[in-house]
Structure 1
Amino acid sequence: MLTVDFARLPVGPGHRVLDLGCGAGRHAFEVLRRGADVVAFDMDQGELDGVKSMFAAMEETGEAKGTGETVQGTALDMPFENDSFDRVIAAEVLEHIHEDTTAMQEILRVLKPGGLAAITVPAFLPERICWALSEDYHTAPGGHIRIYTLAELRAKLKATGFRVGPHHFAHGLHAPYWWIKCAVGVDNDSHPLVKAYHQLLVWDIMKGPKTTRVAEAVLNQVVGKSLVLYIRKPA
């Protein structure tokens, strides 16, 4: 399930890409399929071990068209030289970081002049509803510590030194799923409504039928779960 639109963030052979806060590696794997070289970067070594294993499997099957490596560290002090990457992806990362402007400065530092980045965060309205429905949703260790408005995110990125480009919303079908989880208990995965909606999402991801694609395109404009913003480091 990709949040970033790679038509807006083109990657390919010759590009070096940083997937900051890569998690399980969903964007890093897509970058690798497109022929770019990717560094999957995260604090969680357990996640990185899984990503590294998938990199090896993709190389073995010929699915990897570029090279992939994993690096552990923090977004506040990344172990990379200035101007190291042609592209940076930071998907659902900044809402976890107290010093978010420091992380933005680090992204600017490691990105090459003229390079592009995609920043994704939970969109304001769906996230605000989750916070209202469940305190556990946003107070658990490692959880979300802020809710961004589009204006705030744009302003912080501009103040950092980025040129801010277009934006869109994604995963409109996923917002109701999280509202249900927040209403019945974020850890209550056995609840019938949670299980039923999860099955719907898995079916949609696997099959991608036209009906749900159209429905999500409409829902994205109203309750898209993620805000995606594309930015550039000035040349």
Structure 2
Amino acid sequence: MLTVDFTRFPLAPGDRVLDLGCGGGRHAFECYRRGAQVVALDQNGEEIREVAKWFAAMKEAGEAPAGATATAMEGDALNLPFPDESFDVVIISEVMEHIPDDKGVLAEMVRVLRPGGRIAVTVPRYGPEKVCWALSDEYHEVEGGHIRIYKADELLAKMRQAGLRPYGTHHAHALHAPYWWLKCAFGVDNDKALPVRAYHKLLVWDIMKKPALTRITEQLLNPVVGKSFVAYATKPHLPKADAATANAATADAATGSAATATGDTAK
């Protein structure tokens, strides 16, 4: 079940892709199938080991085209182990609502994204998420749980402040919103409640069979109750004049630091 719409967020074979906070790897797998050079990163070592196994199985089954690569690794979203401008594409799906320093995460993503590169950010949508919080404290008051609810304008403003240029948004997974409302109403860990079990069967059937009826229904409902908000953005190229100014400022700062250090040594 993909949240990112790859018709709006196209990949080219050979694109260097970072799936940050990859979880079970759903977006990383799709990028691998599309011929990308994928790095799936998450702080959960158990999930990363499973993602690595799936990458290996996909390679053996011939699901990825020649030239595609895939790596799964543990890492910290606030301290990414990559040089500046390492990736053409960054995806962060249903992660930022978990992290206290979301501005720090955005800064790290922008740092490792090349100028002209693209980023996809998905978070739970404000309205459906607000219903979940109202129905259940257990839904969000858990270790590693959701610590904030984003309004669309708030997320887009933070992306702009980080230096990104948003170019499109949409909502996804309308059929999943009622499922989480039921889960919150009957108990987040209570999978035996009849309404929860029945709706879960519907979702599994929909995911496996992809019938036209549910696909059309979800498309119609997404603008109203889509569970996820998805935003796409690019990292602008720095104009030559600005780049020269930035480089000069960096050089001046380095010279000043060196002079200060020399002065301190002389003392």
TM-score by length of 2: 0.87
Amino acid at match of 2:193: H
Find the counterpart in structure 1 of residue 115 from structure 2.
Answer: 113
Distance 1:218 1:184 in 2: 27
Q: Specify which of 144, 151, 154 is matched with residue 152 of structure 1.
A: 154
- 1:23 corresponds to: 23
The alignment partner of 2:134 has SS state of helix
Q: C-alpha separation between the residues in 2 aligned to 1:12 and 1:155?
A: 28
Q: Cα distance, 1:152 vs. partner?
A: 0.2
- Please tell me whether the aligned partners of residues 55 and 64 of structure 1 are also in contact (alpha carbons under 8 angstroms): no
Matches within 5 A, 1:131-142: 131-142=133-144
Q: Secondary structure at the match of 2:23?
A: coil
Residues in 1 aligned to 2:93 and 2:137: alpha-carbon distance in whole angstroms: 23
The structure having more radius of gyration, on CA atoms, is 2
1: distance between equivalents of 2:192 and 2:52?
31
Please name the residue that 2:259 is paired with: none
Q: Distance in 1 between matches of 2:38 and 2:113?
A: 13
Q: Counterpart of 1:140 in 2: which secondary structure? A: coil
- What secondary structure, in the 3-state scheme, does the structure 2 residue paired with 1:136 have? coil
Read off the aligned partner of 2:139 and give its amino acid letter. Answer: Y
Q: CA deviation at 1:13?
A: 1.4
| Equivalent runs, 1:25-174 vs 2, <5 Å | 25-65=25-65, 66-174=68-176
Backbone CA RMSD of aligned residues: 0.6
User: Equivalents in 1 of 2:180, 2:207: separation in Å?
Assistant: 16
Q: Please say if residues 32 and 38 of structure 1, whose CA atoms lie closer than 8 Å, have aligned partners that are also in contact.
A: yes
Q: Is the 8 A contact 1:104 1:160 kept in 2?
A: yes
Deviation of 1:15 after TM superposition, in Å, equals 0.5
Query: 1:8 deviation in Å?
Result: 1.5
Secondary structure, aligned partner of 1:188:
coil
Percent identity between the two aligned chains: 58
Deviation track 1:134-163 (CA, whole Å, cap 9, x = no partner) reads 000010111100000001001111011101
Report deviation, 1:12. 2.7
| Residue in structure 1 matched with residue 249 of structure 2 by the alignment | none
Cα distance in 2 for residues equivalent to 1:140 and 1:215? 33
2:228 corresponds in structure 1 to 226
1:8-66 deviations in Å (ceiling 9; x for gaps): 11113120000000000000000000001100000001000000000000000100221
Q: 3-state DSSP class of the match of 1:79? A: coil
What secondary structure, in the 3-state scheme, does the structure 1 residue paired with 2:138 have? helix
TM-score by length of 1: 0.99
User: Is the Cα contact below 8 Å between 1:12 and 1:31 reproduced in 2?
Assistant: no
